[in-house]
Structures are given as C-alpha cells and as structure tokens.
C-alpha cells in the first residue's frame, strides 16, 4: 500500500493479487473530493504500458 498526503488529500491505493480469481484489484481512497480521480490520472500512464491489462 502506498499512502500519500498532499495533492490527493489523505489518499492511498493498493494493487494486489486476488487469492481466488485471476485478477488484480486496484483499490483507491481519498478524503478529498476529486482525489480518487487525481490518483487514477497519475497511475493511468503506468498501467497503460501493460497492454494485457484491462484498465
């Protein structure tokens, strides 16, 4: 888990492997309105580099 305090408010994201399904859930939380969108905007370029992912 990565926790960030700053432009995202008190926000975090967690990417983990599922124990039962062939998926990797991405959980994002922020206490600031629009904070989740900011985190996702910053993460999107990283994940777009992996064409096999359905993002």
Per-residue pLDDT tens over the stretch 15-52: 999 999 998 899 999 888 888 998 899 899 998 988 88
Structure confidence at residue 5 as a pLDDT band (50, 70, 90): low
User: Residue 21's pLDDT is what?
Assistant: 93
Query: Is the predicted pLDDT of residue 9 greater than 80, yes or no?
Result: no
* Other CB atoms within 10 A of residue 24 CB: 10
Chain Cα centroid distance, residue 13: 5
Query: Is the predicted pLDDT of residue 4 greater than 60, yes or no?
Result: no
Contact 47, 55 (CB under 8 A): yes
User: Residue 54's pLDDT is what?
Assistant: 74
What is the SS3 assignment for 26?
A: strand
Contact 8, 38 (CB under 8 A): yes
What is the C-alpha to C-alpha distance for residues 33 and 18, in angstroms, rounded to an integer?
Answer: 28
């Amino acid at each position: 888990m990565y926790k960030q305090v700053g432009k995202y408010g008190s926000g975090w994201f967690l990417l983990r492997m599922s124990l039962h399904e062939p998926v990797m859930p991405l959980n994002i939380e922020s206490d600031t309105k629009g904070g989740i969108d900011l985190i996702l905007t910053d993460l999107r370029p990283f994940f777009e580099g992996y064409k096999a992912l359905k993002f």
